[in-house]
Amino acid sequence: MLDFSILLEYREQFWAGFLTTLQVSLLALLLSLVIGTIVAVMKISPVKLVKGLATMYIEFIQNTPLLIQIFFFYFGLPAVGIQLNAFVSGTLGLAVYSGAYIAEAIRAGIQAVPHGQVEAGRASGLTYIQTMRHIILPQAVKVVIPPLGNQFLNLVMGSAILGSISGKDLMYYGDIISSDTFIVFDVYIFVAIFYLILTLPLSLFIGYLERKLSASD
Protein backbone atom coordinates (compact mmCIF):
# COMPACT_ATOMS: atom_id res chain seq x y z
CA MET A 1 0.00 0.00 0.00
CA LEU A 2 1.11 3.50 -0.75
CA ASP A 3 1.82 5.71 2.23
CA PHE A 4 -0.56 8.61 1.54
CA SER A 5 0.60 10.37 4.69
CA ILE A 6 3.60 11.49 2.63
CA LEU A 7 1.27 13.49 0.41
CA LEU A 8 -0.18 15.28 3.41
CA GLU A 9 3.10 15.88 5.18
CA TYR A 10 4.88 17.18 2.08
CA ARG A 11 1.89 18.67 0.29
CA GLU A 12 3.53 22.11 0.02
CA GLN A 13 6.60 20.67 -1.71
CA PHE A 14 4.53 18.54 -4.07
CA TRP A 15 2.31 21.51 -4.92
CA ALA A 16 5.29 23.83 -5.49
CA GLY A 17 6.92 21.27 -7.77
CA PHE A 18 3.67 20.73 -9.66
CA LEU A 19 3.21 24.46 -10.29
CA THR A 20 6.81 24.89 -11.43
CA THR A 21 6.53 21.93 -13.81
CA LEU A 22 3.26 23.31 -15.17
CA GLN A 23 4.69 26.80 -15.70
CA VAL A 24 7.88 25.56 -17.36
CA SER A 25 5.93 23.19 -19.61
CA LEU A 26 3.46 25.84 -20.78
CA LEU A 27 6.11 28.47 -21.43
CA ALA A 28 8.42 26.02 -23.19
CA LEU A 29 5.50 24.69 -25.24
CA LEU A 30 4.54 28.14 -26.53
CA LEU A 31 8.14 29.17 -27.18
CA SER A 32 8.99 25.91 -28.93
CA LEU A 33 5.95 26.28 -31.18
CA VAL A 34 7.13 29.75 -32.22
CA ILE A 35 10.69 28.51 -32.78
CA GLY A 36 9.51 25.43 -34.65
CA THR A 37 7.24 27.41 -36.98
CA ILE A 38 9.96 29.93 -37.83
CA VAL A 39 12.58 27.25 -38.42
CA ALA A 40 10.17 25.17 -40.53
CA VAL A 41 9.48 28.13 -42.81
CA MET A 42 13.24 28.77 -43.01
CA LYS A 43 13.89 25.10 -43.83
CA ILE A 44 11.80 25.25 -47.01
CA SER A 45 12.92 28.75 -47.96
CA PRO A 46 14.23 29.17 -51.53
CA VAL A 47 17.17 31.13 -50.07
CA LYS A 48 20.02 28.66 -49.58
CA LEU A 49 21.62 30.52 -46.67
CA VAL A 50 18.35 30.64 -44.72
CA LYS A 51 17.66 26.98 -45.48
CA GLY A 52 21.19 26.05 -44.45
CA LEU A 53 20.92 27.82 -41.09
CA ALA A 54 17.66 26.03 -40.33
CA THR A 55 19.18 22.67 -41.27
CA MET A 56 22.22 23.30 -39.05
CA TYR A 57 20.01 24.17 -36.10
CA ILE A 58 17.84 21.08 -36.49
CA GLU A 59 20.77 18.70 -36.98
CA PHE A 60 22.75 20.10 -34.06
CA ILE A 61 19.84 20.11 -31.60
CA GLN A 62 18.50 16.69 -32.55
CA ASN A 63 21.93 15.08 -32.27
CA THR A 64 22.93 16.46 -28.86
CA PRO A 65 21.40 15.49 -25.49
CA LEU A 66 18.77 17.72 -23.88
CA LEU A 67 20.76 17.67 -20.64
CA ILE A 68 23.79 19.19 -22.36
CA GLN A 69 21.65 21.95 -23.87
CA ILE A 70 20.16 22.85 -20.49
CA PHE A 71 23.63 22.80 -18.94
CA PHE A 72 24.73 25.22 -21.65
CA PHE A 73 22.13 27.78 -20.56
CA TYR A 74 22.64 27.21 -16.83
CA PHE A 75 26.41 26.65 -16.58
CA GLY A 76 27.77 27.81 -19.94
CA LEU A 77 26.27 31.26 -20.41
CA PRO A 78 27.56 32.60 -17.03
CA ALA A 79 31.06 32.13 -18.48
CA VAL A 80 30.30 34.94 -20.94
CA GLY A 81 28.52 37.10 -18.37
CA ILE A 82 24.94 35.94 -18.92
CA GLN A 83 23.43 34.64 -15.69
CA LEU A 84 20.18 32.70 -15.92
CA ASN A 85 18.35 30.99 -13.08
CA ALA A 86 17.28 27.35 -13.21
CA PHE A 87 13.71 28.17 -14.23
CA VAL A 88 14.73 30.26 -17.25
CA SER A 89 17.54 27.89 -18.23
CA GLY A 90 15.21 24.89 -18.12
CA THR A 91 12.50 26.66 -20.08
CA LEU A 92 14.89 27.81 -22.80
CA GLY A 93 16.57 24.42 -22.99
CA LEU A 94 13.28 22.60 -23.40
CA ALA A 95 11.99 25.14 -25.94
CA VAL A 96 15.11 25.04 -28.08
CA TYR A 97 15.26 21.24 -27.96
CA SER A 98 11.57 20.69 -28.73
CA GLY A 99 11.59 23.45 -31.33
CA ALA A 100 13.85 21.38 -33.59
CA TYR A 101 11.43 18.43 -33.60
CA ILE A 102 8.40 20.68 -33.98
CA ALA A 103 10.10 22.34 -36.95
CA GLU A 104 10.42 18.99 -38.71
CA ALA A 105 6.77 18.15 -38.01
CA ILE A 106 5.57 21.50 -39.34
CA ARG A 107 7.88 21.25 -42.35
CA ALA A 108 6.34 17.88 -43.22
CA GLY A 109 2.88 19.41 -42.86
CA ILE A 110 3.78 22.33 -45.12
CA GLN A 111 5.18 20.02 -47.78
CA ALA A 112 1.98 17.98 -47.66
CA VAL A 113 0.09 21.02 -48.98
CA PRO A 114 0.02 21.00 -52.81
CA HIS A 115 2.75 23.21 -54.25
CA GLY A 116 0.17 24.88 -56.45
CA GLN A 117 -1.12 26.65 -53.34
CA VAL A 118 2.22 28.45 -53.01
CA GLU A 119 2.24 29.41 -56.67
CA ALA A 120 -1.34 30.69 -56.41
CA GLY A 121 -0.42 32.83 -53.41
CA ARG A 122 2.61 34.31 -55.14
CA ALA A 123 0.58 34.91 -58.31
CA SER A 124 -1.91 36.86 -56.18
CA GLY A 125 0.83 39.26 -55.16
CA LEU A 126 1.53 37.84 -51.71
CA THR A 127 5.07 37.64 -50.41
CA TYR A 128 6.62 34.33 -49.38
CA ILE A 129 5.91 35.02 -45.70
CA GLN A 130 2.34 36.17 -46.39
CA THR A 131 1.70 33.06 -48.47
CA MET A 132 2.92 30.86 -45.63
CA ARG A 133 0.94 32.73 -43.01
CA HIS A 134 -2.40 33.04 -44.79
CA ILE A 135 -2.52 30.03 -47.11
CA ILE A 136 -0.05 27.24 -46.32
CA LEU A 137 0.24 27.12 -42.52
CA PRO A 138 -3.55 27.03 -41.86
CA GLN A 139 -3.81 23.98 -44.13
CA ALA A 140 -0.71 22.34 -42.66
CA VAL A 141 -2.12 22.51 -39.12
CA LYS A 142 -4.48 19.61 -39.74
CA VAL A 143 -1.61 17.39 -40.82
CA VAL A 144 0.74 18.22 -37.95
CA ILE A 145 -1.65 17.94 -34.98
CA PRO A 146 -0.77 14.28 -34.17
CA PRO A 147 3.05 14.67 -34.26
CA LEU A 148 2.83 18.03 -32.49
CA GLY A 149 0.70 16.47 -29.78
CA ASN A 150 3.24 13.72 -29.21
CA GLN A 151 6.03 16.28 -29.03
CA PHE A 152 4.11 18.40 -26.52
CA LEU A 153 3.66 15.33 -24.32
CA ASN A 154 7.36 14.57 -24.58
CA LEU A 155 8.13 18.14 -23.60
CA VAL A 156 6.08 17.90 -20.41
CA MET A 157 7.73 14.63 -19.45
CA GLY A 158 11.14 15.99 -20.43
CA SER A 159 10.70 18.83 -17.95
CA ALA A 160 11.70 16.31 -15.27
CA ILE A 161 15.29 17.00 -16.27
CA LEU A 162 15.07 20.36 -14.48
CA GLY A 163 15.76 18.47 -11.28
CA SER A 164 19.36 18.11 -12.46
CA ILE A 165 19.88 21.89 -12.13
CA SER A 166 17.80 22.34 -8.96
CA GLY A 167 14.86 23.62 -10.97
CA LYS A 168 12.41 23.09 -8.07
CA ASP A 169 10.13 21.00 -10.24
CA LEU A 170 8.38 17.75 -9.35
CA MET A 171 11.50 15.63 -9.73
CA TYR A 172 13.55 18.07 -7.67
CA TYR A 173 11.15 17.88 -4.74
CA GLY A 174 10.69 14.16 -5.27
CA ASP A 175 14.43 13.68 -4.76
CA ILE A 176 14.37 15.82 -1.62
CA ILE A 177 11.35 14.06 -0.11
CA SER A 178 12.73 10.59 -0.83
CA SER A 179 16.01 11.61 0.84
CA ASP A 180 14.20 12.94 3.89
CA THR A 181 11.87 9.97 4.33
CA PHE A 182 14.06 7.17 2.91
CA ILE A 183 10.90 6.08 1.06
CA VAL A 184 11.67 5.91 -2.62
CA PHE A 185 8.94 3.83 -4.29
CA ASP A 186 5.94 5.67 -2.84
CA VAL A 187 7.38 9.13 -3.42
CA TYR A 188 8.10 8.56 -7.09
CA ILE A 189 4.74 6.92 -7.65
CA PHE A 190 3.15 10.14 -6.36
CA VAL A 191 5.45 12.17 -8.62
CA ALA A 192 4.38 10.02 -11.58
CA ILE A 193 0.71 10.62 -10.69
CA PHE A 194 1.29 14.38 -10.74
CA TYR A 195 2.87 14.08 -14.19
CA LEU A 196 -0.14 12.04 -15.29
CA ILE A 197 -2.40 14.87 -14.10
CA LEU A 198 -0.51 17.14 -16.50
CA THR A 199 -0.24 14.84 -19.50
CA LEU A 200 -3.63 13.09 -19.49
CA PRO A 201 -5.75 16.24 -20.11
CA LEU A 202 -3.31 17.32 -22.83
CA SER A 203 -3.55 13.91 -24.47
CA LEU A 204 -7.36 14.00 -24.36
CA PHE A 205 -7.39 17.54 -25.79
CA ILE A 206 -5.13 16.52 -28.67
CA GLY A 207 -7.42 13.56 -29.41
CA TYR A 208 -10.39 15.93 -29.41
CA LEU A 209 -8.66 18.25 -31.89
CA GLU A 210 -7.84 15.35 -34.19
CA ARG A 211 -11.45 14.16 -34.20
CA LYS A 212 -12.78 17.68 -34.75
CA LEU A 213 -10.43 18.36 -37.66
CA SER A 214 -11.24 14.98 -39.20
CA ALA A 215 -14.94 15.75 -38.93
CA SER A 216 -14.46 19.13 -40.59
CA ASP A 217 -12.79 17.41 -43.55
User: Minimal CA–CA distance to 205: which of 153, 144, 162, 154?
Assistant: 153
Number of other residues whose CB lies within 10 A of the CB of residue 190 = 19
Say which CATH number the domain at 197 has: 1.10.3720.10
Q: Which of 21, 34, 161, 27 is nearest to 99 (CA)?
A: 34
Domain count, the chain: 1
| Tens-digit pLDDT profile for residues 96-145 | 999 999 999 888 888 877 777 777 777 777 777 777 777 777 777 777 88
Range of the domain at 196: 5-216
DSSP per-residue codes, 135-147: IIHHHHHHHHHHH
pLDDT of amino acid 1: 76
Average pLDDT over residues 81-106: 92
The CA distance from 13 to 66, in Å, is: 25
pLDDT digits (tens, 9 = 90+) for 157-200: 889 888 888 888 999 999 999 999 888 899 999 999 999 999 99
Terminal-residue alpha carbon distance, the chain: 49
Question: Bigger pLDDT: 117 or 40?
Answer: 40
